[in-house]
Every structure is written in structure tokens, then in C-alpha cells.
Structure 1
Amino acid sequence: MLPLAAAEKPISSEPAESRQTEKPASGSEIEQLKRMIADQQRQIDELRHALEGQKNAPAIAHTSIGEVASTSAVIPPAAAAPASLPPQKSNGDEGSSPLQFRIGDAYITPVGFMDFTTITRSTNPGSGIGTNFGSIPFSNSAQGSLSETRFSAQNSRVGARVDAVVHGAKVLGYLESDFLGAPPGNVAVSSNSDPLRLRLYWVDVRKGKFEFLGGQSWSLLTPNRRGLSALPGDLFYSQAIDVNYQNGLVWSRDPGFRVLFHPTEKVAFGVSLENPEQYIGGSGGGGTITLANALSVLAGSQLNNGANTALSVPGMHPDIIAKLAFDPSRRFHIEIAGVERTFKVFNPNSQQKFTSAGGAGAINLSFEPIKNFRILTNNYYGAGGGRYLFGEAPDLILRADGSISPIHSGSTVTGFETQAKSTLFYGYYGGIYIQRNVALDTNGKPVGYGFSGSLNSQNRTIQEATFGMNQTFWKDPKFGALNLMLQYSYLQRNPWFVAPNQPSDAHLHMVFVNLRYTLPGSAPRLEH
């Protein structure tokens, strides 16, 4: 009876010797324990599979905010991108959300900024917030006697980039738009409804040493800050607020396809096929050539004169561009580029076809002799390459029989950029030279470009000096950036021919002030 009486006492008061006589567990209790152990094992297996999946997922490394929307030459490093899993709450703090969206295995990062721009000019070129450098008015005209002040939000941008790893290849899609589309005639009266405009829309695939890009992007001729990347932050198109950038800059944004080869991380070579356009002036303020009387019908139909509203001008083949870039260190970049173009016209009077090749070359260099002080020089010259000078130089003239003669032209943009804590200072000189090219019409009168008696829109030189600053108030991919930007420019153009008692040049002072809020977000750098 003693053991039975002891078993009826609470277990906590039971001596060690008597616990050996405890009543065996029932079958239901054993089954319950087995189920609990099985549930724990299942949870452990699920956790193990989840951890293995995270190991196999693409790694997210640090990224530079310059890969998203910045054009700054000297960019402070951004914070590391957080993991895609949502942050845990800690002491009531919800933490920061990821810097990009994730759909499946692709990461989508918003890009863009909101701009409020003020423009003041000493004369009124009539080109809106972008300056048509080649057509600034002379002082004896009505526009040359009036100043201009304008507010605008047109340069605000919106877009997205998509990053993914597919079968071991890095895939990057990029979309960027602004509000600088052709405005309706009454846009500034009431609503200021500036139309959305496509800037960039391309996809890039890189695997190993090879890279392919297709879509609308900056031309391969556009100077790079590093490598041959098509991302805006890796290109040089100046720090200017002017939406037409800096006079003398070689650039275009057009549809094309390019192939790049990276033998090492410090060397890149690329070949690009880009949209052709045989051009005789009239765009971006560029003066148009004078055609022979019998060939005037070719303007607009076979040769782009800046007045085309439809894509009606033929092209024999795409422009072929090649470029080689060296980046021995982060403080030095040099590149050599060239373009080959072919022009073709049909003379309806003689039923003859004429073909001519054109081309141009570029040498671009940027380096830091001391930390945070960068010197840049971008130089371009050729025959038949005026289209890439923002259209300020025609590509060619036509002789009286319809044969083609390319026009020689060249440019430079040389200057500096320096970062002093949160302030960027810059200064550039940009110059364009357009060579005279003259032929005779059947009636003995001169035709072409730059002859005695030609229009004062046929420029010999266009020059611009620019100084500016960009003050960063704050900058973090978690909440974006706020900047105040200032630009002053002096612009002058000199035509080939000036009539007696007329001004020998046209000149212009410009001041831009811009407040910019850059959207938050930072793109991942996917490792594969």
C-alpha cells in the first residue's frame, strides 16, 4: 500500500526513488508526443528548404545611385540595398522598405526626378527651356531686342529600370520619359499641359564578356564617363540645366542595336547600328543649305531640312559606329570612336542616283589629377557628321547635277568638374566649327553653305562658355535627394556672311535656376 499512497502525492514532492514506480504513459499520450515531434521535424525541413532557396537566389550587392538617375560626375556612395525580405519591427520602429519592387525574380526600380526650372535670357530665341544654339537672334531684330523669363516643370522625368538574372545572363531594361514633347499652341495660356515624350527605352543583356543592347538609347557616339555603358549616369552630357545640354556636345538618342565585348574589366569595345538620317540643316537652330533651283524638291522628301513631321527621308543603311574605351582606374577614362555614314539621292530631272560616304571620329578623355577634381575634353571632327552636333551643322550639300559633297565640321567640349563636400562646381567651353562648302548652280549663282551672300543662319562658329553649381541638401536612396542647381552661360554665333551695316555676331546671356527632387530607390547589383 505504501507505493500506491506515494503515487497519489504530487510529482514535485516525490522522492527520486519512487519516480521509478510512476505509472506508464497511456497509448494516447504517446501518440500525441509522436505527432508533436513530427510537426517539429516538418517545420525544420521547411526552414531548411527556405534557407537553401535564399542561397540560390541572386545576391544583392551595393549599388551606386548614379546607376539610376544621376548625371553627376562625382557621386557619394549610396547605402547598401537591403534584402528583399521585409524588415522586422524593432522597438516600435517599422524600419525602411526595400529600395526596389520585386516581381518574381526581377527587381523594378523607379527612376526620375521633379524639376522646377527658371530660365532668364538677355534675348528671346523662342526655343522654350532648351536653347537652339545655332539660331539665337541678332540685336537688330525684335527677338534680339527683348529678354525672356520663363518657369517650367517640363524637364521632370519618370521611368523605371528592371534588373534580373536569366540563365546566367544579366538583363537590364530601362525606360525614361520627360515632358518636353511638342506642346499645343495654347499650352502656356491656362493648363500648361506639357506632353509626355519618350527619351529612352532599351534592353541590355550581358553574359560573360559579351553584351547586347537593343532599343532607343543614347548614341554610342555620346561620350562616356566610364566604360561603354548606356546608363545615363555613366555618360557625359554635361551638368548643364539647359535641356539641350552644352553647345558642341556630340549626341543623339535614337533606335539602334549594339554589340559590346569586354576582354577585361578595364577595356570595352563596341559596334552599333543606329538610325540613319541624311540632313541638310534646320533642326536645333542649324542653318539650312542653299539648293540649286532644280533640286529644291529634294528638301523634306529625300533630305531632312528640319521641317519633316513624318519619317519620310530614306536611308541607305544604318549609321555604323565603333568605339573603344579604356578605364585603367576610376580616375582615368579615354575612348576613341568613329562613325561611317552613306548618303544617297535621286535627281528626278536627270533620272540619276548619287551616292557618297561620310564619316567622323572622336577622341574623349577625362581624368582626375587630384581627388574630386576632374578634367574633361571631348573632341570630334569629320565630313558628313553634322547631324550628331545637335543638328547645328548640315551633313552635306548638293551640286547642280545632284551629286553629293559632305560638309566638314568639328566640335569640342572641354572643362572641369569638382566636388567640394555636398557642392558640385563645373565649367565648360563648347565650340563648333562648320566649314564652307560651295558649288555653282546652272545659272552661275553659288549654292551650298557659307558662300558670299548666303543667309546669316549659315554659321561659321558657335561658341558657349558655361559655369554652374549643384548644391545637394540631402541624398539617400531611402528618401531621395533634394538639389538646388545654378547655371550661367554666354553664347555667341558668327555666320559666314554678314551684310553691310549688320551685326557681325549674335550673342546671348542665360541664367538657369533649378530645384530638383530625385525619387528614392536604388537598383540592385545582381551577381551571377
Structure 2
Amino acid sequence: MAAILVISSISLQAQTSTATKKPAVHKKAPAESPLERQIRELREQMASQQAQIDALKQQNADKDAKLAAAQQSAQDAQTAAANASAKADSLSSNLSANTEAVSNLNSTVTDLKTTNVGLAQTISDTKKTISDELESPLAIHYKGIAITPVAFFAGEMVYRQRALNADVNTPFNSTPYPGAAQANTSELNFSGRQSRIGALFVGNPGPFKLSGYVEADFLGAGASSNDNQSNSYVLRQRQIWAQAALNSGFTVTGGQMWSLVTETKKSTDNRTENLPMTIDAQYQVGFSWERQPGVRFQQKIGGFTGAVSVEQAEIVYSATNANANFFIGNAGAGGGLYNLTANYSNNVAPDVIVKATYDSKFGHYEIGGLSRWFRDRYYPNQTLATPSAAGGTNNTKVGGGFFVNARAPITKFADVGVHVLGGTGVGRYGTSTLPDVTVHPDGTLEPIKNLQGLASVELHPVTKLDLFGYWGEEYAQRTTYLSTIGADAGKLVGYAPITSTNAGCNTETLPTTPTSGLGSIGVAGNPPYSPGTPANCLGATKDLYEATAGFTYRFYNSPKYGRLQYQMQYSYLSRQAWAGVTSATGAATTTYGAPHGTNNMVFTSFRYYIP
């Protein structure tokens, strides 16, 4: 084929060359020879093949182009796939993040819903609290001071088998012996005088708390007070004190308050005094207490508290056959705002009391002591044939004692307690006010040994009901001295001499005879208000004891509206005297006896306490 192509090429060149040399002559085409026909056919075949080759080249070029395009497309597809994969990864990550965000959002929405519910409840509670504080505040606020009113209103009654001419407070040491006319009559008295009013004032600057407290009732009597028509009994000071309490637990209190001797429910804190649950405003024989002016210091350390107080002193005196060679004090001076009909001792020092307490879940426990000083002025030359005040001298004797108080819950329904106070010259701190001191023949004082004890059981079977029972006793020791002075030589001087007569303690006497006709009627203590009193009856008290039982029932108790309650109390009181002479004058044999007085008492009380 190559040779044919070469020959064809040469032939074409020769023809071309000839053509250029000679002009075209239109001649009749000669007949084609076989060789020429073959050459022509070969040429046509070559042209056809060339066209096919060109077509194949074109196809190859197209294929190459398509392949390149396909390769490019493949690369683009790979890139797109990579991008798509990256986008898919990114989308997956975003989807995961979105899922977590959606979850967090759902949680946040849930929290918001809960918060909204809580906020709504808080708003409701706050609204209720504000409404309650506006409608029924726990305290009245004046500037930075919170004022809490304290009050109850009482209607009460007392029945005594043996009349004492007393309101709802019982003068235990005045219980009559059988020979007294009033031992044969009873009494029934109604009273609203134990109703109480007061307020607590509290300011809290931060580093310390300031408090003031006032409390009063109507168990005082004025010159015009009586039971005839308008029972105008006067308002009586019970407590008035001021207090500063540091955050460190140190507290100082000054004013009239319960004595530190008085048992408390918590620490030595004011206003936590653990008083018997009695209606009797004189409480219970064996209960040790005073309400008097003083200053108290206390320090708390955990469950322990130590306290010391200095308190108003006063002397309760009793003696038989005493000489007029001494004095303790005087009647009150009107210009000094003391009671003209009461005696006041001239005190050399205050009573000093120390106490330690411990509080735990097992109860409240106290131990303490008190010191007292008794001064009088005596006159050694009073007993001379010619009495003289020359040589008058002041003399001071020291007394005091120790006390313990314990109160514990034996179950959640019952509390038991015990109280004991003993010493010399501590009779005044007992509720019966037995004497503190007596006197020597020379006029110097002598403290009397005293003992006070109280046991209690308080039950709380249900929320509305309390049951209580108490047994208490107080004792004063016989304290006498043989006189060797002048005309009194050979006499026993002091408290409850055995040589004193008790012969008439059980014999009733006639009322006092009027001395001024009708003009004396209505005068206090004059007929017909002058029952007979036993003649020849010293009856110096040896001991008193009282057994009490009662209950308190709360009909209604609300922190918003207060408490309505009813109480009833029964008490059996016994007064035992020291023995004295009971034989008649001139009897061959001297006999001795001790009179004994008793009383049965019933109290009722209906009270409303403000919340």
C-alpha cells in the first residue's frame, strides 16, 4: 500500500506539473486502462481509509476528550464526594450539637417551668406571709423595735374549807389552828385580778440584742380597794427589766425580775421560769422564788450557763421573849414612796446568788448557792436598871444556802422534777415566807436553819390536756437561847421556845367585844369583822406541806387567735407547829403539844391568752 501511495503521489505530481505547463484542452477523455482503474480505485480506497483514519482519530480524540472529561468528572466527583462527606460529618456534628442543644433547651425549659411553678408558689407564700404579717403580725414594729404584747384575761374562783380572807393567792403560813374561829368557817371568793398585761420590746442592731420587758397584774391593793361594790384593786408591778445580750452568749439584765434562785426551763434566761402550773397565785409550798430588783450576769458556753446576780435584800424576822434592845429597820416612809403600813429592813448588802445550769435532751439541771447578810443595831445597856442607848453597836450575821433543781422528760408524755433549797436564813425564798432570823437575848441576830423541797409530775397525754401533781414542804428549825439578863434571866428567847404556851391553840374563843358601839362597825378588823383568835397559843410553825393535783384543758389553741383554757386545782395544806406547853397553869405535871392546822382548797380558772 505504501508503494502504491508513492507511485500515486509521483503520478499526481507529474500530472500537476504537466497541467501547469500547458493550458487545459478539452478533449475527449481516453478510455481508462485497467491499471488506471486500479490506481483510481486504490486512490478512492486510500481516501476512504484516510477518512476512516481521520474519523478514528477524531473518535480517539473525542474518546480522549471524553476520558479526560470523565477523569475530571471523576476527580470532581471525588472532590464533591469528599466535600459531601465533610459536609455530612459537619452536618452530623452539627446535628449532634443541635440534639444536645435541643436536649439542653428542653432541660432548661423544664427547669424554667419548675422554677416558674416554684416562683409562683413563692409569690403565693410571700403574698400570704405579707398578708398574715399585715393582718396578724407576730410583733408590732416601731422604728427598729419589735413590740410583742403579752396578756391573758382570767375569771377565777377559790374555795377554802377554813377561811383565810384571801384572794387567789394563799398565805400558807396563816392557815388557822382548830381554836381559831375562822377554822370553823369556809370562804368562797371570785376574782379576775390575776389577769395579766405586758409587752416585750426587742431591738437588734446586730452585734448585740437589746430587750425590755414589762408585766403587771391586779393583785395589789390600794387604800380604797374592797370587795363591796367596785372592786378597785390596783395594777401591780410583777416584772420590769432591761437586757443587753451579746452574740458571744454574755447577757446582762437589770430591773425587777424573778430571782436567780427560781428554776428556769432553759439556761438562766429570763421569761423561761419553770413555775408550777397551779392557779394559786402563791404557787405551791416548797417552791423557791422571789420577784425583786437586781442585776444578773450570765454567760453561755454550749449547753452550760454560768450566772451571778445581786438582788434586793429583806429580812423576815420572828422571835418570842425578845428584849427591846435592838432594831432591824423601820416602817416605810411615805415621802420615800414606801408603804407606810409595811416594815423595811436596813440592809447592809444585797443578796448574792450564783447558779450553773446544763441543758440536754435528757433534761434541765441546776446547782447554785446564795449568800445573805443580816444587820441590826443592838444596845447592850438597855437591860440595865437605868436603860441607856450608850454603847449601841451594829452587828452583821452571815447566812446562805445551796439549791439544786432537776427536771427531765421520762417520756414525751411526762416530765418529773425535784427542787431542794437548804441553809440558814433562807426562809424568805420559800413561798410560805418562814422566818429568816431570830434574836439572841443580847439583841444580836441569829439566822434560822430552813429547808424547802418540791417534787412534781406533769403529764401531757394529749395535745389539749395537761395533768399535774405536786408535793412540797418547808421547814424552819427551832432556834432558842437562855437569857441571863436582868428580869428576863431564865427565859428562853428566840424562835419557837418550848416553854411558850400552846394550851389554847385548839380552843375557840368569842369574837372581840365592841368598844365604841355602832361607830366601829365597818372599820377593818373591828366587830363584826373580828372573829375570835386562840388565846395562849404561840403555834410557831415547824413545817408546812401541801399536796396538789389538777388539770389544764385547752378548748381552743391557735397561733393566730390565741388560746382558751379551763383549769381546776385541788390542794390539801397542812401546818404543823413546834411543841409548846399545853398543861394548865399550876398543873402538877407539865405537858407539851404541837397544834396542827389543815385546809382543803379548790381553785378553778377560765382564761383567754392572746397569741
Q: Provide the TM-score with structure 1 as the length reference.
A: 0.76
What per-residue deviation string (whole Å, max 9, x for no partner) do you get for residues 204-256 of structure 1?
2111121100000000001112211110xx21220000000001111000000
- Aligned 8 A contact 1:458 1:495 in 2: yes
Higher mean C-alpha deviation, range 340-349 or range 173-182: 340-349
Higher mean C-alpha deviation, range 141-150 or range 395-404: 395-404
Alpha-carbon distance change, 419 to 167 in structure 1, aligned in 2, over 3 angstroms: same
Which position in structure 2 is the counterpart of 1:229? 269
Which position in structure 1 is the counterpart of 2:62? none
Which position in structure 2 is the counterpart of 1:214? 254
Q: Provide the TM-score with structure 2 as the length reference.
A: 0.66
Alignment of 1:91-490 (within 5 A): 96-184=135-223, 187-207=226-246, 208-231=248-271, 234-264=272-302, 266-280=303-317, 288-290=318-320, 292-295=322-325, 298=328, 300=330, 309=341, 312-329=344-361, 331-348=362-379, 349=382, 350-390=391-431, 392-421=433-462, 422-441=464-483, 442=485, 443=488, 444-454=490-500, 455-490=537-572
SS of residue in 2 equivalent to 1:87: helix
Match of 1:427, as an amino acid?
A: G
How far residue 99 of structure 1 moved from its aligned partner, in angstroms, is 2.1
Which position in structure 1 is the counterpart of 2:54? none
Alpha-carbon distance change, 294 to 186 in structure 1, aligned in 2, over 3 angstroms: closer
In structure 2, distance between residues paired with 1:493 and 1:88: 57
Match of 1:318, as an amino acid?
A: P
In structure 1, distance between residues paired with 2:153 and 2:208: 33
Structure with the bigger percentage of helix? 2
Match of 2:265, as an amino acid?
A: R
In structure 1, distance between residues paired with 2:445 and 2:128: 63
Which position in structure 1 is the counterpart of 2:605? 514
How far residue 84 of structure 1 moved from its aligned partner, in angstroms, is 12
- Aligned 8 A contact 1:427 1:465 in 2: yes
SS of residue in 1 equivalent to 2:219: coil
Alpha-carbon distance change, 189 to 397 in structure 1, aligned in 2, over 3 angstroms: same
SS of residue in 1 equivalent to 2:264: coil
How far residue 185 of structure 1 moved from its aligned partner, in angstroms, is 5.6
- Aligned 8 A contact 2:574 2:599 in 1: yes
What per-residue deviation string (whole Å, max 9, x for no partner) do you get for residues 123-164 of structure 1?
101222210111111222211000011110010000000122
Structure with the bigger percentage of strand? 1
What per-residue deviation string (whole Å, max 9, x for no partner) do you get for residues 274-300 of structure 1?
0011220xxxxxxx3225223365574
Which position in structure 2 is the counterpart of 1:79? none
In structure 2, distance between residues paired with 1:324 and 1:313: 30
Aligned length: 421
How far residue 391 of structure 1 moved from its aligned partner, in angstroms, is 5.3
Match of 1:290, as an amino acid?
A: T
- Aligned 8 A contact 1:384 1:407 in 2: yes
- Aligned 8 A contact 2:146 2:203 in 1: yes
In structure 1, distance between residues paired with 2:195 and 2:416: 28
In structure 2, distance between residues paired with 1:379 and 1:482: 34
In structure 2, distance between residues paired with 1:314 and 1:299: 5
Alpha-carbon distance change, 318 to 95 in structure 1, aligned in 2, over 3 angstroms: closer
Higher mean C-alpha deviation, range 491-500 or range 245-254: 491-500
Alpha-carbon distance change, 301 to 482 in structure 1, aligned in 2, over 3 angstroms: closer
In structure 1, distance between residues paired with 2:449 and 2:330: 22
In structure 2, distance between residues paired with 1:428 and 1:491: 12
Identical aligned residues as a percent: 31
Name stretches of at least 5 consecutive residues in structure 1 with no aligned partner. 1-81, 281-287, 521-528
What per-residue deviation string (whole Å, max 9, x for no partner) do you get for residues 90-128 of structure 1?
xxxx98421210001111011010010011110101222
How far residue 355 of structure 1 moved from its aligned partner, in angstroms, is 1.4
SS of residue in 2 equivalent to 1:381: strand
Match of 1:320, as an amino acid?
A: V
In structure 2, distance between residues paired with 1:425 and 1:86: 36
Match of 1:507, as an amino acid?
A: T
In structure 1, distance between residues paired with 2:596 and 2:230: 37
Name stretches of at least 5 consecutive residues in structure 2 with no aligned partner. 1-124, 333-337, 383-390, 501-536, 584-592
- Aligned 8 A contact 2:329 2:345 in 1: no
In structure 1, distance between residues paired with 2:356 and 2:182: 44
After superposition, the CA RMSD in angstroms is 2.4
How far residue 310 of structure 1 moved from its aligned partner, in angstroms, is 5.5
In structure 1, distance between residues paired with 2:344 and 2:594: 37
- Aligned 8 A contact 1:363 1:379 in 2: yes
